[in-house]
A and B are shown apart, each in its own frame.
Chain A
């Protein structure tokens, strides 16, 4: 804030009164929440058979949609983030902290104290909130609800309701509409309904779009055994999971960048883009945050790789005759992958030079340690890779990364740090896809010549904390590992300077500085 002009930093007032349409919408939403709170407190609510459950779900859904429709139908097409900085909820004001605390508390109870939500202990029936959701669960899979079911319903409801709101706001931009419909489809279909139906037919309740490493237990002993032991469907799920990791994801990321997953398919992304949209400007744009991001997200990646190798090693150690892949074969495979990856990294132009010496040493160090552990394990016949039990690694990962980072911090911190804290600082899948996007994909946000007027809208509204303006004002393509391709920077740009595109010249990306007026033809430097 410019000290001489304190009155112009943020002085406007928040929007005027709400319209009747907005008020009705909000009333229904509040009513739904009241019903859930009542259920949560254990109050018996009227008729059985799920009437109030259905009422609360529909009230919640159409309350939000009604509010959104009332808000956006009268506003001109193209309105974006008017008056954002005047509102308490969107600027880390009191209401933002209240909301953040509330969501964080909900996650903690969900993960660690489900009995408080009413989960039946030792075979007893469900009660309270979870009991309230029993009718829906029974309808879908003929089983009582769990805390994860309730979570799934809330999550899906949020993505659907706020997805419609987002579409109404951006109905003039087809990319935003299609992308949001995609995310809503994948959340409702793949993350919620399909796993329920799988369970109904005694099949593994798999979210088919949730691939490793996001699905960090995929290679765990119990999961591999479950899939292999569930007939053809289970084997198909195993095969699909592997195909996603080794074929589908690399190919799609090559053509489209990581946006195909992060802002079109992923559930975390789905919530971030819909329910998290009002908070996207809270992401930290500083260089310090970027540095932390790179170290942290790649550390989580190392953690998950180490854990997975340990899990697989343990699996093959325990079942030496059961499967066609022996321990030795597995170790050999891993060795080849590491060596292959290193060779590609060194040979491919641009990759080696883009990495700083510190990072190079870290990477070589880690690969070296892993390879040494592999060789030692094979030679000594040890049951454990890396000297730590894979079970312990899985537990730690599951607790710190899977629950705390991804869940509690990831969503609880929306109103304070924006919608993509997990995606940016913790998601190992984002790390992998990001590396590929940065070095081996066709995706870039291209810049229209010298048109940028440096206003800063793009940077403010980038949910991943990328300083987009720094690239735009130089006329340089944005080629960043973090970019999830949400397209909002291009949308808020008042001069149409930015465009998301997949173009073939991978090596040429990000090279041209189009805002340069004088061509650089061997100009000599003049030193004082």
Chain B
């Protein structure tokens, strides 16, 4: 049995690792991006000089041979499900018994004039990092389009080199389509403190040529012209499925898969950013382009491939990020606008750098979600509360059990203060 995996990111690699743990099947991992699996979450640290590129590789280079996972470097151009063959860019043919598509995402490109100029790119791949490094020579100003997680990473990268940064944010607050208003304002304040020029409710209209084929400035929807030498595209990502055109594998935005992560063609599967679930779990998205879900999908699929059919269940939602110096954690449901059944308790520190939000059901008081900025909570404890539908009064009583900040940081309860909820009334910010 030969299983071929296209893509050596966290999803493909986790699938490969677990297939090896569970079986003796032959496993080949193909990548056009790099020779070895690396953590793209760490790309920003390479640019800033905190780490070298090789430090981002989660496993020592001998790991693959030791575990008999074959590595193949090259771009897959065509998938032939009938003959079970892949055609590589250099003409090589690779045969498979089962195929796993783990090709990840590509940054979304806005359809505006000038987007094809030099100096315009996203931040996803190792090649994007190299591009940013090259384009930073002599760079004075950068404009980043899109106020989200990658946008803030790019901003921190440029900031570390003293390059002026402007971010065009479509929403009225930073990451406003995910963060509730208070948290969005907290993050916005912090970014401004770092010297970032934030433009809310502003979109990109066009990119101007500087005369030599490189971006020289942008025109915004507010009618402004901002001069710059680099335009970062961070409005989101979309599945990388171009190579599957004409293959017969059903795709929409991404590769359509069932609950077992199998495509319409038996023996072909998809995991990670590129996969689109036909029937996502209640409350979850069909496409979830994250490190954590990719890892979970890879693990689930490995079991299915090794004879233990496993339905992919993402569990309770969790995510994390960092906005310059402010860490972010979320567990469960935290809608950006709280209405209907959602009520919440929100507390912010005096210095405006930390916040805790407990989201609960207005009627039953069952905990639904936790949103954290600058505060670390224990994932196991938070998930237990949410899974067991613990009432928020009980959560408050046990809240110190969730604290995960370093020793001597002070009690969570001291930060939250006494709060006694009353039925029908909520502390909603």
**Contact residues, B284-327 vs A (CB, 8 A):** 291-292, 295-296, 299-300, 303, 306-308, 310, 315, 318, 320-322, 324-325, 327
Decide yes or no whether B75 CB sits under 8 A from chain A.
no
* CB of A504 to closest CB in B, whole Å: 14
Decide yes or no whether A96 CB sits under 8 A from chain B.
no
Q: Tell me which residues across on chain B come within 8 A of A78, comparing CB atoms.
A: 324-325
Decide yes or no whether A8 CB sits under 8 A from chain B.
yes
0/1 interface trace, chain B 144-186, chain A, CB 8 Å (1 if under): 0000000000000000111000000000000000000000000
Decide yes or no whether A499 CB sits under 8 A from chain B.
yes
B296 touches A8 (CB 8 A): no
Stretch at the interface among A42-50, A358-366, A514-522: A514-522
Interface size class of A (residues with CB under 8 A): 35 or more
B22 touches A2 (CB 8 A): no
B45 touches A457 (CB 8 A): yes
Roughly how many angstroms separate A319 CA and B61 CA in the complex, as a whole number? 60
Roughly how many angstroms separate A11 CA and B321 CA in the complex, as a whole number? 26
A2 touches B34 (CB 8 A): yes
Stretch at the interface among A21-29, A144-152, A445-453: A445-453
A7 touches B130 (CB 8 A): yes
Stretch at the interface among B267-275, B372-380, B411-419: B372-380
Decide yes or no whether B345 CB sits under 8 A from chain A.
no
Q: Tell me which residues across on chain B come within 8 A of A9, comparing CB atoms.
A: 46, 52-54
- Residue from the list B133, B308, B407 in contact with A500, Cβ < 8 A: B407
Roughly how many angstroms separate A480 CA and B380 CA in the complex, as a whole number? 23
Roughly how many angstroms separate A449 CA and B376 CA in the complex, as a whole number? 12
B50 touches A495 (CB 8 A): no
Stretch at the interface among A171-179, A264-272, A405-413, A430-438: A171-179
- Residue from the list B49, B129, B307, B405 in contact with A85, Cβ < 8 A: B49
**Contact residues, B398-428 vs A (CB, 8 A):** 404-409
Roughly how many angstroms separate A494 CA and B54 CA in the complex, as a whole number? 18
Listed residue (A5, A80, A457, A500) with the most chain B CB atoms within 10 angstroms of its CB = A5
Decide yes or no whether B89 CB sits under 8 A from chain A.
no
**Contact residues, B49-63 vs A (CB, 8 A):** 49-58, 60
0/1 interface trace, chain B 118-141, chain A, CB 8 Å (1 if under): 000000001101100110000000
A453 touches B50 (CB 8 A): no
Interface size class of B (residues with CB under 8 A): 35 or more
Decide yes or no whether B10 CB sits under 8 A from chain A.
yes
Decide yes or no whether B385 CB sits under 8 A from chain A.
no
* CB of A75 to closest CB in B, whole Å: 10
Roughly how many angstroms separate A287 CA and B46 CA in the complex, as a whole number? 23
A76 touches B325 (CB 8 A): yes
* CB of B21 to closest CB in A, whole Å: 8
Q: Tell me which residues across on chain A come within 8 A of B55, comparing CB atoms.
A: 456, 459-460
- Residue from the list B23, B35, B194 in contact with A2, Cβ < 8 A: B35
Roughly how many angstroms separate A124 CA and B47 CA in the complex, as a whole number? 59
A457 and B379 in contact (CB under 8 A), knowing A287-B60, A526-B306, A528-B24?
Answer: no
B380 touches A491 (CB 8 A): no
Stretch at the interface among B36-44, B79-87, B202-210, B229-237: B36-44
Q: Tell me which residues across on chain A come within 8 A of B42, comparing CB atoms.
A: 453-457
Roughly how many angstroms separate A174 CA and B193 CA in the complex, as a whole number? 23
Roughly how many angstroms separate A456 CA and B38 CA in the complex, as a whole number? 10
Decide yes or no whether A10 CB sits under 8 A from chain B.
yes
**Contact residues, B98-131 vs A (CB, 8 A):** 126-127, 129-130
Binding site for A on B (CB under 8 A): 1, 10, 22-26, 34-36, 39, 41-42, 45-58, 60, 126-127, 129-130, 133-134, 160-162, 193-194, 291-292, 295-296, 299-300, 303, 306-308, 310, 315, 318, 320-322, 324-325, 327, 329, 376, 378-380, 383, 404-409
